[in-house]
Chains A and B, each alone.
Chain A
């Protein structure tokens, strides 16, 4: 019980100490207020932005871009991963390009995508999808291939078809790694959305950051950082919750014995 309480108390104490030091430090050393915001400025920026400003709207816009872009990217990644795992021919054909695409800094083509698809939602979804699809290709492929020899022998001895092997064993075996991929992708997705907004947009948190910089309002700027962190953490937790529900057998008793 005491240990449990410490787990929450210690980070909270650290936060209070850091915030206090930050606030006092800026006053004590006379740091120019247009460079760095104080915690109180940030709090003010948050409240003011949500109550009087456009922060609510911007958050909704960016959240939509992240979620849709992630959904599209993850879907494409999962489909590609399945295709590559299913067919050696497709594996040999596609894999060099998938690897090349991953090595390429995708953010570099963000301006091109905005020019091609406009400043609206579509271009943000594409950039976000591009940034977040790769972990899924890799994890889906290796997950589907993680089927064990004894499972293969079992299914073969039952005269199972390749499709039955896939739907009854491989898909389930892949799930833990698929979720590992989703956890990586959901953290990458906000990068895509924000970069897309930096390049060209009329709304969203990335746009709001640029406005705050131009207007020299570091309080607003840092407030958005807080919102972005909250979004990232929340989405990550959502994925983890879904994972615990779906891959339930990882928490049911021990592992099944395998010799």
Chain B
């Protein structure tokens, strides 16, 4: 049984002058349990909108997304979001930020404080749990945000360009980290990015999207075993996958 199922999904936005802009057209795909699906495409291809539909933050115009055969029509605890802007609350320490979902969901504080501390250790932030987000580097902030998402133990992680604001080197480190964390915690992941190498490096499958309107151009299976290290990027199979994905954008659109 697939975990996520998207069928005939359309999202249109009404504009000011009455005309509608089509953000997503005829989207169909499934995500299997434990899978790491990356979605890659240029700005405006509707990939973030698609993620918000999966997370119940955006209601589709027609068609539907379902989670375990139940229609997604509101946010639910089983889905955890990681946003590009970390959205850490600057008045809370790292640990307090990680416990925000515990407070919102009224979970047992004691049990989950232990869990949060374990997770902070997993991402190497143990020594920073009592610091404020403003004192952390961009990469550390994003790791703290990932811990916050993991604390209530969601089944699916929806990651919206989480490393888009990081420099290239932190970004590669975070990719390796993300793969390790997601394997260790056995999460199903849908990961949106506009970096083709990032998509190929992380994904079991890469879903390529083209813009205006947002459509699926191709879905590629990436057959390297996970966990992977950065060396696979030098592999010719890796390079040909990247080239193939890029061809979708060079024909009609430029990647921005």
Contact = CB atoms under 8 A, between A and B. Distances in A.
B124 interface: no
A159 B165 contact: no
B114 interface: no
Interface residues of B, number: 35
A252 B165 contact: no
Contacts, number: 79
Interface stretch (A37-45, A62-70, A150-158, A206-214): A150-158
A159 B76 contact: yes
A253 B135 contact: yes
B174 to A, nearest CB: 14
B89 interface: yes
Nearest to B138: A257
Nearest to B135: A253
Contacts of A254: 134
B107 to A, nearest CB: 11
Given A150-B87, A159-B76, A256 B133 contact: yes
Contacts of B105: 158-159
B48 to A, nearest CB: 10
A27 interface: no
Contacts of B55: 157
A172 interface: yes
A252 B90 contact: yes
Contact of A150 (B77, B83, B132, B136): B83
A157 B57 contact: yes
Nearest to B101: A158
B86 interface: yes
Between A157, A254, A259, the greatest number of chain B beta carbons within 10 A of the residue's beta carbon is seen for A157
A259 B142 CA distance: 12
Nearest to A250: B90
Interface in A200-259: 248-249, 252-259
A160 to B, nearest CB: 5
Chain A residues touching B, majority SS: helix
A106 interface: no
A158 B86 CA distance: 14
Interface residues of A, number: 24
A153 B86 CA distance: 12
B84 interface: yes
B57 A156 contact: yes
A259 B164 contact: yes
Contact of B104 (A151, A159, A249, A253): A159
Nearest to B74: A159
A254 B90 CA distance: 10
A153 B168 CA distance: 27
Contact of A259 (B74, B85, B104): B85
Interface in A137-178: 150-151, 153-160, 164, 168-169, 172
Interface in B118-141: 132-136, 138, 141
Contacts of A159: 74-77, 104-105
25 contacts: A150-B85, A153-B52, A153-B81, A156-B57, A157-B55, A157-B81, A158-B75, A158-B100, A158-B101, A159-B76, A164-B104, A172-B91, A248-B91, A249-B90, A249-B91, A252-B90, A253-B136, A254-B134, A255-B90, A256-B90, A256-B141, A257-B86, A257-B141, A258-B87, A259-B84
Interface of A: 150-151, 153-160, 164, 168-169, 172, 248-249, 252-259
Given A156-B75, A157-B75, A253-B135, 4 more contacts: A151-B89, A159-B105, A249-B90, A253-B134
